[in-house]
Structure 1
């Protein structure tokens, strides 16, 4: 059934298309859009599969989706096209050979579940189940618009970073909104319809980001990341700030800046050991500890790189993904050490940008300790079978160690790869993936 090749080197698919479309032309009230298409791609680390193996994978996918069940002679017609070693395309027409139309309801989830099973059966790179902890990525329309306008950063990404930084540094709700406005972010509050004085949510935008109609493009906190809704952020402020949260927000002098980072390093070191010692303990408590460490890294990244971001900011974004809870709810019973980490996050945010080698050296030591937290969090996520978050934590830990080791002002014992080892041994990594 492989289409013949023209002298130009292109395939002539007209005969194959006619075969696929025959049931559609003979069907009873066929749909206007009758083609179903998906691609299945292996991870770059996977071995090359044979044609027969790819054929089996394709048949399992269309059966799982429900358009061509195993053993059904009247199922839809479909074809799998392999034009590269690492992936195939599956194309089906959605009219069965008995004339009835079939709809691939909820096909994305079904195909993903089938892919997870095939990953294990073929020993491929395992992606892991969907955990709903990832933030929304910019759409192609957002990316194209930002490119046309010559923006250095997509508005959604910039707003997420600004909101995370403000939440990590703020003492309370008023401080949070004030910090956003001071950063040049527009803020729109949503009020309760029952209690007009009660704020139930918020949205943010940029002064120069408009729709085609000229209106400001607004993003609610939940559209930026699952943990940036107002109820989620409020729980951060209620999770143990210490006895005097506002006292931590006072700006220390230049001479105190290195001492602030040393105190934060000591707190992070204790938290890393708690994570290592309590791998099988109360998951909620451990989750709150990791979330507070993410805020600490966010404030540290701002002190390092400012609002334009950089490698530390990128690592903090990755680590933040690893700390989110799938339930979209922060732990009800935060770990006792959470309050100290959050207070140190606010204090670092108050110090401003780093100005000397002493400041930077102390901050690099803090980054190393947070890399230990990320390693131990990765162990926990692997034990919880949250593979996406485990890999995010590993990636963040590796990035942070690389940053500290390669920094021009790295302290003695940090350069040349002399970085702290994880407090617990790493587990073996899965091998391959079907996406």
Structure 2
């Protein structure tokens, strides 16, 4: 407890802590002045008395836990107004009550304080032993705290984050980031593997093709077999040849550890989602990908994307399966297009593709039961684009940029539909991608002239009109 309080009342790692002080405590606002750590002549706060008071129930408790400190930070969005100390005090009290460690009106609850050393956030610190000596186990405190935060956002008119829906991919941990930095890696292995797996999945026609593409990209693949039927493959894991544990073993990542939609069952559903390319069709035997062939491939994909955008523009928010299947197929097209533009190292288009994936995912890993007929054609175009290689001329680049504009149209329509479904995370992701794609295409116009794009305005208008009617 002493080390944590010393940091919270200290200057911070880069002198970012300004005027650290208490805004709330277990004993109520009347006792705050007596609990406030005094500052010495050098400005350093003496936290010893506060730490002692917080730890008293732990020392007197019956069989206290070895790790008895509970710590949470509550931060506002950058666009939120600055809250007062009394408002932050109310937020802190609601948080500790919501997670169950200090319910309202319980005089024997744990001891806790809320420290503020910046305009936009507070830190809540508590000990996990009640004042009656019993230990508190904060089960599922993250979900409970997030639920309380969603309620507080509405009550205070703050930025709406949206409910937890398990559609975000797993971010690299601090340990992964530090290890990559020490090793001088340009990219964290988890992020690189997710990009390689997504590109292979978008281009593959079946499971074997998927594994072959990964291995051709220099990725290690390990298949998991059923314990009941050894011939049945139930999952997979990927790794990098130069990424090892301290004992020299390969660090493996299962598909679900990379993103919710990259598990083997989800990928199998994707490959079986429509007519697509046959092993003897365009995807495997496209011939030598010359400039003319490459430009034609992107023109065909643009036509398919335009059809997909038109279908989305005419959909109702209640058509969950149709929206999800079309958006997911469009995500494959965008992933293949990004690889053709930027290669394996990625760039702004690859980043946009990864962001759009969030817009395509269904909450709680729900799978579409009925796939839209146009999704199969979009997937076949994704596989076709993957065969043509990197862009080499103004002609094929211009054709590819037309496809990027069409993809921004799809992203706009997906955003409007997600907003109507109250899917905040997906709507924001799609809206961000639409703007990025238009910016990418516009920035390239000065280098590669594009033909007039009249279909964009016509196809995107229905969804925009629907949004306008809903707003009014």
Provide the TM-score with structure 1 as the length reference.
0.94
Kindly indicate whether residue 424 of structure 2 is the aligned counterpart of residue 390 of structure 1.
no
Tell me how far apart the structure 2 counterparts of residues 13 and 243 of structure 1 sit (CA, whole Å).
68
Corresponding residue of 1:308 = 345
Tell me how far apart the structure 1 counterparts of residues 442 and 277 of structure 2 sit (CA, whole Å).
36
- Equivalent of 2:264 in 202, 211, 230: 230
- Consecutive unaligned residues in structure 1, runs of 5 or more: 429-435
Deviates more, 1:48-57 or 1:204-213: 204-213
Give the secondary-structure state (helix, strand or coil) at the position aligned to 1:227: helix
Kindly indicate whether residue 67 of structure 2 is the aligned counterpart of residue 27 of structure 1.
no
Judged with a 3 Å threshold, the aligned counterparts in structure 2 of structure 1 residues 71 and 356 are, in CA distance, closer, same or farther, namely: same
Judged with a 3 Å threshold, the aligned counterparts in structure 2 of structure 1 residues 48 and 181 are, in CA distance, closer, same or farther, namely: same
Corresponding residue of 2:87 = 53
Tell me how far apart the structure 1 counterparts of residues 180 and 116 of structure 2 sit (CA, whole Å).
34
Kindly indicate whether residue 294 of structure 2 is the aligned counterpart of residue 260 of structure 1.
no
1:70 Cα deviation after fit: 0.9
Tell me how far apart the structure 2 counterparts of residues 119 and 105 of structure 1 sit (CA, whole Å).
23
Judged with a 3 Å threshold, the aligned counterparts in structure 2 of structure 1 residues 14 and 203 are, in CA distance, closer, same or farther, namely: same
Tell me how far apart the structure 2 counterparts of residues 207 and 213 of structure 1 sit (CA, whole Å).
14
Tell me how far apart the structure 2 counterparts of residues 298 and 99 of structure 1 sit (CA, whole Å).
56
Corresponding residue of 2:218 = 184
Tell me how far apart the structure 2 counterparts of residues 281 and 109 of structure 1 sit (CA, whole Å).
28
Corresponding residue of 2:385 = 348
Kindly indicate whether residue 352 of structure 2 is the aligned counterpart of residue 318 of structure 1.
no
- Equivalent of 1:194 in 228, 244, 249: 228
Give the secondary-structure state (helix, strand or coil) at the position aligned to 2:373: coil
Aligned length: 426
1:275 Cα deviation after fit: 1.0
After superposition, give the CA deviation of every residue in 1:287-325 in whole Å (9 maximum; x if it has no partner).
000000000000000100011111100000000111011
Kindly indicate whether residue 129 of structure 2 is the aligned counterpart of residue 95 of structure 1.
yes
1:242 Cα deviation after fit: 3.7
* Contact in 1 for aligned 2:291/2:395 (Cα 8 Å): no
1:101 Cα deviation after fit: 1.8
Kindly indicate whether residue 144 of structure 2 is the aligned counterpart of residue 107 of structure 1.
no
Deviates more, 1:264-273 or 1:347-356: 264-273
Tell me how far apart the structure 2 counterparts of residues 105 and 111 of structure 1 sit (CA, whole Å).
11
Deviates more, 1:404-413 or 1:393-402: 404-413
After superposition, give the CA deviation of every residue in 1:217-267 in whole Å (9 maximum; x if it has no partner).
111111111111111111111100347464121334321211211111111
Corresponding residue of 1:378 = 415
Kindly indicate whether residue 319 of structure 2 is the aligned counterpart of residue 285 of structure 1.
no
After superposition, give the CA deviation of every residue in 1:362-404 in whole Å (9 maximum; x if it has no partner).
1111111111111111122222222111111111111111111
* Contact in 1 for aligned 2:113/2:125 (Cα 8 Å): yes
1:357 Cα deviation after fit: 0.7
Give the secondary-structure state (helix, strand or coil) at the position aligned to 1:156: helix
Corresponding residue of 2:370 = 333
1:329 Cα deviation after fit: 4.3
1:7 Cα deviation after fit: 1.3
Kindly indicate whether residue 144 of structure 2 is the aligned counterpart of residue 144 of structure 1.
no
Deviates more, 1:145-154 or 1:92-101: 92-101
Tell me how far apart the structure 1 counterparts of residues 44 and 412 of structure 2 sit (CA, whole Å).
50
Judged with a 3 Å threshold, the aligned counterparts in structure 2 of structure 1 residues 420 and 157 are, in CA distance, closer, same or farther, namely: farther
Give the secondary-structure state (helix, strand or coil) at the position aligned to 1:30: coil
Corresponding residue of 1:361 = 398
Give the secondary-structure state (helix, strand or coil) at the position aligned to 1:69: coil
- Equivalent of 2:449 in 391, 402, 411: 411
Q: Equivalences for 1:71-82 in 2 at 5 Å?
A: 71-82=105-116
Corresponding residue of 1:65 = 99
Tell me how far apart the structure 1 counterparts of residues 210 and 396 of structure 2 sit (CA, whole Å).
26
1:30 Cα deviation after fit: 2.2
* Contact in 2 for aligned 1:58/1:80 (Cα 8 Å): yes
Superposition RMSD in Å: 2.0
Corresponding residue of 1:431 = none
Judged with a 3 Å threshold, the aligned counterparts in structure 2 of structure 1 residues 258 and 126 are, in CA distance, closer, same or farther, namely: same
1:195 Cα deviation after fit: 2.1
Kindly indicate whether residue 37 of structure 2 is the aligned counterpart of residue 3 of structure 1.
yes
Give the secondary-structure state (helix, strand or coil) at the position aligned to 2:124: strand
- Consecutive unaligned residues in structure 2, runs of 5 or more: 1-32
* Contact in 1 for aligned 2:317/2:418 (Cα 8 Å): no
Judged with a 3 Å threshold, the aligned counterparts in structure 2 of structure 1 residues 243 and 184 are, in CA distance, closer, same or farther, namely: closer
Judged with a 3 Å threshold, the aligned counterparts in structure 2 of structure 1 residues 16 and 346 are, in CA distance, closer, same or farther, namely: same
Deviates more, 1:389-398 or 1:276-285: 276-285
Kindly indicate whether residue 335 of structure 2 is the aligned counterpart of residue 295 of structure 1.
no
* Contact in 2 for aligned 1:405/1:414 (Cα 8 Å): no
